[in-house]
Structure 1
Amino acid sequence: MKAEAIRQPHPPLSACTSAILTDPQTCALFLDMDGTLLDLAPTPKSVRVPDGLIPLLQKLTLIFDGAIAIITGRMISEADQILAPLRLPASGVHGAELRKSPDGEIERVSAALPDDLVVSLRKLALQIPGVLVEPKGPGLAVHYRLAPHAEAEILASLDSFLDKHAGAFELMPGKRLFEIIPSGLSKGTALAALAALPKFRNRMPIMIGDDIGDEPAFAVAEGMHGFALRVAGEQYLDEVSDFAGPRSVVNWLDQLARRLGPPGNFRSHH
């Protein structure tokens, strides 16, 4: 019998599920995308959206009375394209972008990266087949999933680039990628900003993610007496994770939606 078939929910996941089923309107849901809702793909543009995910998120938006947000390393505009026609409150580029309501403007929390940095990294990508540079306005990602042998060379180049802009940017390692993000910003600062909005305020935050970049958001959620739920994959081993992979996350969300049904099927304690 496969391990997943006899897998028991971790205590945090069981407690989180109970809290949501008791009253979802005391909870707020914060979701990473790649590796959490979506399976990782060779390139950022080749991800596939699971069947039924978008209508499921629409149902959850009603059940949580709007207290559901995307916290991603992608740009918010790119997240919107993937989840179209759905738009949610969101943070992009590890906290460097923020949208406070579904129909609100995308606010850039930080200035764009210096042109010389972007140009230098584009040249690096041209020199190493399989390396992809993805500018994200105030941030940038260097993907090497198709050239894993180049990790050390890329890291050395990034370190030298960042030395020229000492203190202004931070290097965030991820799954076969490195990201340059403005110093002082993270998914943690993003979660804190979104959790302070009227729709999310005074609710228990639940952050679901799969990578190092999600750790600051996990810490903020737990600091607010909420839950940090990890997805197994290239970063977290199965035994320390709450979900076996993105499919497990989506299945859990789907079970919640089915059990709670449309608004009015549960009793709010507000």
Structure 2
Amino acid sequence: MITFPRLLTDRSALFLDFDGTLADLAQRPDSVQVPRELVPLLDRLHDRLHGALALVTGRAREDIEPMLSPWRWPAAFEHGSVRQSTHGSSLQPEPLGLAAVLQAARNLAAHHTGLLVEHKRTSMALHFRQTPSLEALCVTTMASAIANDPDLQLLRGKAVVEVKSARVSKGRAIEAFMQEAPFAGRAPVFAGDDVTDEAGFEVVQRLGGEGIKVGDGPTCALHRCPSPDALRTWLSDSLHTHTPTP
């Protein structure tokens, strides 16, 4: 069932995933088309919420910032391994075992056309959207590569398998923002589309806020919307409709 929370108020804290949430998914991460109105919309929301807006994405900072230029919002990148707040930035070290996992992914991609290996600062992703029949092989290969390393965690997303530090998540990144101004004391709202966003939904709802699942699939989020376009419309409505603080 499609249900949206009430429109944002002056006391909301807004957290947003990017791929599949603010912008439609594409065959390759570098092929995503950013809607023309997205950056101005984020700027206006940032101002309306007095700075309490942050992007929370699995993307690397160097990858996504040029797509949303000029960038001026707080954000957590790589599932929270890299976090930029109004109080400065923090960076988790690359897990020691990531080099071996990268090599396993690259060896697999060398033998199968259509696989894409993405090396970020502190994590990696193996994309198989162009060759969906290889999903099981990709998952098995990556799971085997991290089997003996408790510091690494496997994430299965939409046509991607990611490996990151087990000590970071989108949920933990949101918790960190919620302890800082201007987010502290507000009601958090988080919109995301993938399995990797479930930790964020759990955190905002535990803190008295609301999660919005974009698209299909099981979720713990209280609300659901059909598409990134529908979410952008709801966000725009929050700008144009004055909703008093409860």
Choose 1 or 2 for highest CA Rg.
Answer: 1
Residue 138 (1) aligns with residue 127 (2): no
Instruction: Output the TM-score relative to the length of structure 1.
Output: 0.84
Find the counterpart in structure 2 of residue 226 from structure 1: 209
Number of the residue aligned with 2:82: 97
Structure 1 residues 243 and 134: CA distance shift in structure 2, 3 A? same
| Post-superposition offset of 1:106 | 4.0
Q: Identify which of 38, 50, 60 aligns with 2:23.
A: 38
Identity across the alignment (%): 31
TM-score (norm 2): 0.92
Aligned residue in 2 for 1:263: none
Q: Which runs of 5+ in 1 are unaligned?
A: 1-7, 261-265
- Stretch deviating more after TM superposition (175-184 or 113-122): 113-122
Partner of 1:137, secondary structure, is: coil
Determine which of 86, 93, 113 is the counterpart of 1:129: 113
SS in 2 for 1:94: helix
- For 2:18, the aligned partner's letter is M
Count of residue pairs the alignment pairs up: 243
Q: Which has the higher helix share?
A: 1
Residue aligned with 2:224, SS: coil
Q: How far apart in 1 are the matches of 2:169 and 2:72?
A: 21
Is the CA contact (8 Å cut-off) linking 2:189 and 2:209 kept in structure 1? Answer: yes
Unaligned runs of 5+ in 2: none
Is it true that 1:50 corresponds to 2:18 in the alignment? no
- Is 1:88 equivalent to 2:73 in the alignment? yes
Root-mean-square deviation (Å): 2.0
> Counterparts of 1:174 and 1:9 in 2: how far apart (Å)?
22
Matches of residues 1-270 of structure 1 in structure 2 within 5 Å? 10=3, 13-14=4-5, 16-17=6-7, 20=8, 24-101=9-86, 106-112=89-95, 114-164=98-148, 166-233=149-216, 235-236=217-218, 242-260=224-242
In the TM superposition, residue 120 of structure 1 has moved relative to its aligned partner by: 2.5
The structural deviation recorded for 1:127 is 1.0
**Does the aligned pair in 2 maintain the 1:210–1:236 contact within 8 Å?**
no
How far apart, in 2, do the equivalents of 1:146 and 1:162 lie?
A: 24
